[in-house]
Structure 1
Amino acid sequence: MVWNVYFEIAALMISVVLMLSDLWKKHLPFRSWNYFAWLLSLQIICCIFDIISCGMAIRPARYSIRIHYLINIIYYISYIMEIWSFAIFTIAMTGKSKSIRRTTWFVIALPYLVSFISVLITPFTHMFFYIDSEGVYHRGWAYYYTWLTFLAFYILLPLAYAWFYKVHMAPYRMMYTIGFWALSLTGMLLQGFIFTDVLLEGIFNTAAILIIYLNIQNPSQFTDADTGLYNQWALGEVIDEKLEYGDPIDISVIGIENFPVLESIYGRRKLMRVLHSIADEITEQVKGVNLFYMHRGRFALLFNKNTNHKQIEHAIRRRFEMPWGEEDGKVTFKIHITHLDEDVPKMSIREIFDSLEEGLRNAEMKDNEVTEIISAQRIEEIRDGIKVEHAVSKAIRERRIRVAFQPIYSTKKERIISVEALARLVDDELGIIEPDVFIPIAEKNGTIGFIGSQVFEQVCSFIRERDMEDLGVRFIEVNLSPIQCKSGELVSDLFNLMDRYEIDPRQINFEITESAMTDGKILNEMMNKIIQRGSTFSLDDYGTGYSNLVELLDLPFKIVKIDKSLVWSYFNGTSDVLPDIIKTFSIRGYEIVAEGVETHNMAEKLRDMGCDYLQGFYFSKALPADQLVSYVYNNRRLRIMEEMRL
């Protein structure tokens, strides 16, 4: 039988070009990249021996039967190994091959081993094929059964595995995985059942490999265009695989000081040329390291096993003492280095990147030539912060942010006349999470607006469901974060909630900290819009920021709340400015709230200084809504009983 080999020759030529291109480009230390190189090699071997065997079939009598068997056995073994490599490559792309137990691997490999052995013994059994006395090739008695079982197993298994772990694969990878298996299967079916005299499997397999190369293994998506190095995405992929397989991670980050300023001075184009030369020199001179360009003048060095990072860091420091660039435009950089040792336990990419970012900031603040070492304790703290962040996101998603109300005492009326609404978070795993912990995290990741919205809605619900006049509560104080104050939709969102719950805006007093005053004009406009509806504003936590007093006086605050740190520093004798601060604001018509009141003596002295309101544990901690109502009524009853005794 004579086969048409033109498609197979084309497949061989394309595969060789892909191999040369793959060898020329840099490789990331991915297991899947190693599998791909092996897969491409097997495809070339398959094409070569398929073409040779077909050429021998034209004049079979010229060659001995042993040669016929040898060439065909090599072809079938390489083809079996290629399909096996396809399957392993697919499993490796999920990043979850580490989770497969040894017994499961044995089951996965069993059809491959059976087929491999069957091909080797086929000269005696004629299972796959046989060569007659004239040297003519014939398919064996078990060819279709064995081949279809083998192919079905190694096509369905990796696809099922990829589908099961699809959440761990990028959507485009899943799509291309299905695509290259569909192409490969199409080639098998066409050659096996329709065009039996045309070699189509090779060209279809090559097309499938081309899909992998261009869309999955393509190094350009992992490469930084300016420096030619692999980028932060590539670094994340490498670290993710190392974490999955339990491989050691020994990494340093080099940061160029004041990089944005240098960009504005020298221009981005020139600076990027210099960075490219830095990348080339470090790559050429430093061995045992994978170099990545992260962003904003930061390089990551991922050290191979048994590489001395201290020597490399020292050499890089010495090199950066000299200028970089061409003679007509040399640039000198000051660098800082942080290092995360392989012995420090690591659990996620996020904690690694966060710790490196923080380590570099610390190195810049210390401003010395000592590498900032990231400790296991700091990694644990960052890990705890990530857990809190997840808990916050979960609570927001499930609307589990709760509100507690802390009473505020009027020194003139001698009773509770307002309360402050405070966010509270209880997580199923972490338990009670203090506001001092989760509020800064929510402000950092931008979820504080969602927390503020849920808190304000619960405040509106509280006001609608209770008789505020009977409680004797004039208004409820609600905190607005600096992030919320920058939102152009804040005013409409607040008004919509007040309208929905049909509450009087005069029953709301909003609190804003000094840190929200970065743009006084925008803040002033926002405050005046809300004041026009009847609500008022307090300056919260005065004394913790660095605002100019003139700027404060320009904003329409009604109340100034003095932070507990100022109150405590006065009563423990470390500062005596508190009376002057109270006097300064009082003579300008502001009402004064002192926070952090914990004793009767503090309450008496603060009242004598001129504070209008007092807030702190001396009166009450923050209480859930029902407990607050009971507290207010009990407080009123006790006061009436005291008046009756008098």
Structure 2
Amino acid sequence: MENMIWDARYELTALIMLILFLVFYQLQRSLPLKKNRVFMGMLVAELSCILWDLIASYISTWHMRYPTWMLEISNMLYFLFLISVYYLFSVYCRCTARERAADPILRWWQLRVPLWFAIAVLISNPWTKAIYDVSRENGYVRGWMYYYLIPAILILYTVISLAFVLYYRKYLSIREKGGLYAFVICTMLTSMLQIYFFPYLLITNIGLSTGVAINYLAMQNPEFDKDRKTRNYNLEGFGRYTSEQLRMGKEFQCMAIGFANYKTLLSIYGSQKMDRLLNRIGIRLRNHYNHAVTFYIHNGRFVLVFPRHIEINPIETELIAYFDRNFGLNKDVLQLNLRLAYLYADKQIKKPFDIGESLEMALDDACRKEIYQLKVVDDALMEKLYREREYHRALHDAIEKDHVEVFYQPIYDSKCELFTMAEALVRIRDPKLGLLFPDTFISIAEKDGTILGLGKIVFRKVCRFIREHDLDALGIQAIEVNLSPIQCRHRFLAEDYLKIAEEYGIDLNNIVFEITESATVGVARMGKMMQQLQKAGARFALDDYGTGYSNMINVMSLPFYCIKIDKSLVWSYFRHEDWILPKFVQIFKDDSLTIVAEGAETKDMTDGLIEMGCDYVQGFYYSKPVEEKVFLEFLKSHNETRKE
């Protein structure tokens, strides 16, 4: 066995690079996850590996000057930290997989077995000389098991790491897989080159440091978990953090912070000023509650996550006191209407996304109230959440499996005393939940974007109905089809609906598109879409007038031929709570607009609405929305009888 002389130039480069990298990473404040702690452990182990490699190389080169025990310990620590880096990388891969998959393919104790074996071999090495032999005469020489044991352990941990990446590859992004593969290539290439081809050239740690740097850029940058506006952790980080806490069986508390008037302030002051204000709030929350993990979710909403032993009442009091003041934005002064929601996360919460969704729902409920009240996530709210989740499942199943049905509600023409129009209303017939009405799933469809596909399905079914039935013979002049605000903002809505109408071979003269008041806020965006459909023969009705979203200017600037007065306004009038209904009717009649009154439930109401001047009356007094077959029978029995 020959005495070894080492070239440490690459090792010094790796040392400088890793020290700078370690300081930079520590200053960035990463999300407190086990994966991030393991990555930090990799950095420390790699730094220790470089230092002990340099120390061991120096002592071994000048072995005559140092006692044997120093050679023994320095080399032992080098090999220990080298194997530890590979072990920690396999743990890191397991943590990455654990964030996305429920059951990793290996347990913690199984990962530690090769490490324990290596530690046992290193501890016994002074007697066995298996890995290396040191003496004052010969310095350091490789032992009889070196070429078999060290590469085997390094390769084993590399194979384990690759197994995690390959087994869970469908859960990993291309960037993440690239970072993990790059680490494996860099580390194994330099380690094997040094072991088998260039034993005198210390290049193992330059490969490890390069692999760590690539992995940082690909998936470990703390900025990935931070919101740019507030510099707090973001929504994705919130999901990852709470998921890990639940997996580890830890109980914790969440205090969600929102503002009832945030959207109004955003529309008045603009995103730049509001972002600056949110940044100030984020700094305050982060610095003042340093025992909590602070997240910015979206739309001016923050979440503070506290350990379970923290008393929450003083925190609520402090938050109320802090936000009960005016905030200055340059020359502007504004006040935030604080709303808080609280959740205690214990072992009863099974799914991590229950936390975020329940807090969102609780804040929504709190924002709808006029005065402040802490909204606590309780069993009733969780039941509501699970129910909405079932509606969400039913909605997607309905679109995928064609469980969507169209019901029709006849509309009475007060002049000819016949039912000459009908409104098409969507229903879902779910095998598990039964018949679902729009108020259970339309808001969900608008949130997740499925409203676009759902709207096309309804329009197709209406077009099929028109093609298969002679509307003139039925006495029907038009069928009303609802368009939600989300649909109206879709760039290609008109083109899509014109293609569907062409596919079924019908024109749009028999179609009236109902657009709700809330959609008329974006007048400029609406105009082009309405013109395209209007050229094809379609007409437009303003739906739900009186719900408080639009104004007369919006109504007059868009090509509506008809105004549908919301049932809430009708009911208020006939309950003697509000007397403005006749004035609205007169204003619209003066502008030659057709009036449809919704919500007529009694004969007195229908007679009063007709006497008031309403052209059409719609409501349960005549008929509820019914299935297509029942609707056809209704028309035959009522319209034909009246004609006779």
Q: Report if TM-score (shorter chain) is over 0.5.
A: yes
1:315-334 alignment, distance < 5 Å:
315=318, 318=321
Scaled by the length of structure 1, what TM-score is found? 0.81
2:118 is the alignment partner of 1:115: yes
Distance change >3 Å, CA 351–CA 408, structure 1 → 2: farther
Contact 2:229 2:275 in 1 (8 A): no
CA apart distance, 1:613: 4.5
The 2-side partners of 1:621 and 1:75 are apart by 81
CA apart distance, 1:144: 4.0
2:169 is the alignment partner of 1:155: no
2:366 is the alignment partner of 1:362: yes
Which whole-Å deviations, capped at 9, do the CAs of 1:18-59 have from their partners, x for residues lacking one? 333344443431112211222122212222332333334335
CA apart distance, 1:419: 2.8
2:407 is the alignment partner of 1:407: no
The 1-side partners of 2:605 and 2:335 are apart by 55
CA apart distance, 1:176: 0.9
The 2-side partners of 1:364 and 1:567 are apart by 23
2:174 is the alignment partner of 1:174: no
The 2-side partners of 1:313 and 1:282 are apart by 12
Which of 32, 37, 40 is the aligned partner of 1:37? 40
Secondary structure of residue in 2 paired with 1:250 = strand
| Residue of structure 1 in register with 2:344 after alignment | 342
Contact 1:127 1:142 in 2 (8 A): yes
| Residue of structure 2 in register with 1:289 after alignment | 292
2:430 is the alignment partner of 1:457: no
| Residue of structure 1 in register with 2:471 after alignment | 468
The 2-side partners of 1:473 and 1:308 are apart by 66
Which whole-Å deviations, capped at 9, do the CAs of 1:410-442 have from their partners, x for residues lacking one? 566665443322122345665543201222333
Which of 206, 215, 221 is the aligned partner of 1:218? 221
CA apart distance, 1:308: 2.5
The letter for the 2-side match of 1:474 is Q
Which of 186, 191, 213 is the aligned partner of 2:189? 186
The 2-side partners of 1:354 and 1:135 are apart by 69
Which of 77, 87, 92 is the aligned partner of 1:89? 92
Of 261-270 and 248-257, more deviation after overlay is shown by 261-270
Which whole-Å deviations, capped at 9, do the CAs of 1:474-515 have from their partners, x for residues lacking one? 332211223333445433333332223221322222223333
Secondary structure of residue in 2 paired with 1:505 = coil
1:389-404 alignment, distance < 5 Å:
389=392, 391-392=394-395, 395-396=398-399, 401-404=404-407
The letter for the 2-side match of 1:336 is L
CA apart distance, 1:183: 1.0
1:189-268 alignment, distance < 5 Å:
189-223=192-226, 229-230=232-233, 234-254=237-257
Contact 2:232 2:286 in 1 (8 A): no
CA apart distance, 1:539: 3.5
Contact 2:260 2:339 in 1 (8 A): no
The 1-side partners of 2:309 and 2:247 are apart by 21
The 1-side partners of 2:323 and 2:524 are apart by 45
Secondary structure of residue in 1 paired with 2:543 = strand
Which of 488, 493, 515 is the aligned partner of 2:518? 515
Of 224-233 and 172-181, more deviation after overlay is shown by 224-233
Of 193-202 and 394-403, more deviation after overlay is shown by 394-403
| Residue of structure 2 in register with 1:105 after alignment | 108
CA apart distance, 1:13: 3.2
Of 344-353 and 10-19, more deviation after overlay is shown by 344-353
2:16 is the alignment partner of 1:18: no
The 2-side partners of 1:271 and 1:576 are apart by 43
2:61 is the alignment partner of 1:58: yes
The letter for the 2-side match of 1:207 is T
Of 338-347 and 436-445, more deviation after overlay is shown by 338-347
Contact 2:94 2:104 in 1 (8 A): no
Contact 2:357 2:385 in 1 (8 A): no
Of 375-384 and 176-185, more deviation after overlay is shown by 375-384
2:520 is the alignment partner of 1:537: no
Contact 2:66 2:136 in 1 (8 A): no
Number of matched pairs: 638
Secondary structure of residue in 2 paired with 1:406 = strand
Which whole-Å deviations, capped at 9, do the CAs of 1:528-553 have from their partners, x for residues lacking one? 55444333333433443465568656
Contact 1:359 1:373 in 2 (8 A): no
1:377-388 alignment, distance < 5 Å:
377-382=380-385, 384-385=387-388, 388=391
Which of 6, 15, 18 is the aligned partner of 2:9? 6
The letter for the 1-side match of 2:75 is N
CA apart distance, 1:629: 4.1
The 1-side partners of 2:281 and 2:624 are apart by 58
Distance change >3 Å, CA 595–CA 399, structure 1 → 2: same
Of 244-253 and 225-234, more deviation after overlay is shown by 225-234
The 2-side partners of 1:574 and 1:320 are apart by 37
Of 102-111 and 30-39, more deviation after overlay is shown by 102-111
Distance change >3 Å, CA 174–CA 503, structure 1 → 2: same
CA apart distance, 1:264: 8.5
Of 315-324 and 263-272, more deviation after overlay is shown by 263-272
CA apart distance, 1:246: 4.2
Identity of paired residues, percent?
Answer: 30
The letter for the 2-side match of 1:341 is L
Distance change >3 Å, CA 144–CA 480, structure 1 → 2: same
The letter for the 1-side match of 2:24 is S
The 1-side partners of 2:364 and 2:534 are apart by 44
Scaled by the length of structure 2, what TM-score is found? 0.81
Contact 2:7 2:202 in 1 (8 A): yes
Distance change >3 Å, CA 363–CA 110, structure 1 → 2: same
CA apart distance, 1:236: 4.7
Distance change >3 Å, CA 285–CA 126, structure 1 → 2: same
The 2-side partners of 1:430 and 1:195 are apart by 70
CA apart distance, 1:86: 0.9
CA apart distance, 1:200: 1.7
CA apart distance, 1:389: 4.4
Which of 310, 314, 319 is the aligned partner of 1:311? 314
Contact 1:39 1:82 in 2 (8 A): yes
The 2-side partners of 1:248 and 1:165 are apart by 28
The 1-side partners of 2:418 and 2:611 are apart by 16
CA apart distance, 1:89: 1.2
Distance change >3 Å, CA 117–CA 625, structure 1 → 2: farther
Distance change >3 Å, CA 545–CA 97, structure 1 → 2: closer
1:415-564 alignment, distance < 5 Å:
416-427=419-430, 431-518=434-521, 527=530, 530-545=533-548, 547-548=550-551, 552=555, 556-564=559-567
RMSD: 4.6
Contact 1:68 1:135 in 2 (8 A): no
CA apart distance, 1:174: 2.4
Which whole-Å deviations, capped at 9, do the CAs of 1:440-494 have from their partners, x for residues lacking one? 3333455433322221122222222334344443332211223333445433333
1:586-601 alignment, distance < 5 Å:
591-598=594-601
CA apart distance, 1:107: 3.0
CA apart distance, 1:207: 1.3
Which whole-Å deviations, capped at 9, do the CAs of 1:204-254 have from their partners, x for residues lacking one? 111112223444333344456676655555445433433444433423355
Distance change >3 Å, CA 387–CA 198, structure 1 → 2: farther
Gaps of 5+ in 1: none
Distance change >3 Å, CA 67–CA 305, structure 1 → 2: same
CA apart distance, 1:291: 4.0
Contact 1:8 1:200 in 2 (8 A): yes
